[in-house]
Amino acid sequence: MSSKFAYVWGVLSRYKYLITVVVGVAVVGFIDENSYMKRIQYDLQIGQMKEEIRKYNIQNEQSTRALDELKRNPKAIQKIARERYFMKADDEDIYVLSSDRQVSDGMQTTTKEFDEATQ
């Protein structure tokens, strides 16, 4: 037992600087919570968050422009009401055309008939 201990002690004392450097690099590079790997992950997250911030800033600018247009122009309100909420004036008719197909049997035959009639 003492010969094994003496052998291990001899290796440790001979390569103590190498072992210290390897352990230090392992701790700094991989093990520690402030490691190089965590830093790379944080840099990637920062890049993604900056992209999201840019996207939300563009969306905010578009919404602000649309809101300003709505405040200034009453016809813009009328346009949005017609396009999004299918509102109409008293003397108008609205036809909503859709290319969506229904899965139910009754609607499927109606959709097929409509497709055949339009071709």
Q: What angle do CA 86, 76, 64 make, to 5 degrees?
A: 115
Question: What DSSP character marks residue 28?
Answer: I
pLDDT on residue 65: 92
pLDDT on residue 66: 87
Structure tokens at 90: 């008293």
Where does residue 58 rank: exposed (0-12), middle (13-18), buried (19+ CB within 10 A)? exposed
The band of 102, judged by pLDDT with boundaries at 50, 70 and 90, is low
Q: What is the mean pLDDT of residues 74-101?
A: 77
Rounded CA-CA distance 52/83 in Å is: 29
Write down the pTM of the prediction: 0.49
pLDDT on residue 97: 77
The model's pLDDT over 11-21, given as tens digits with 9 standing for 90+, comes to 888 998 999 99
